[in-house]
């Protein structure tokens, strides 16, 4: 699934809302795939939240953060 490109500047007050909207369907699609593979959707949601929470601690190249 493609993720929509930004329609506003990163300095715009509504930038984050647009990003949330762009991520909504891809995240739901991911959770559907996880569920179809036999994992609990509720547990997958919690695991995804942990993965996201831990990202700043992971050694990520700065080019992936832009």
8-26 pLDDT, tens digit each: 999 999 999 999 999 999 9
Dihedral angle, C-alpha 34, 55, 9, 27, nearest 10 °: 10
The pLDDT of residue 48: 93
In this model, does residue 61 exceed pLDDT 60?
Answer: no
* Nearest alpha carbon to residue 44 among 52, 35, 36, 54: 35
The pLDDT of residue 53: 87
The pLDDT of residue 55: 83
**pTM attached to this predicted model:** 0.71
29-53 pLDDT, tens digit each: 999 999 999 999 999 999 999 998 8
């Amino acid at each position: 699934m493609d993720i929509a490109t930004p329609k506003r500047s990163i300095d715009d007050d509504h930038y984050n809302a647009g990003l949330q909207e762009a991520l909504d369907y891809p995240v739901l699609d991911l959770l559907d795939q996880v569920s179809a593979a036999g994992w609990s959707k509720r547990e997958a949601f919690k695991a995804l939240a942990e993965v996201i929470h831990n990202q700043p601690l992971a050694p990520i190249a700065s080019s992936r953060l832009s």
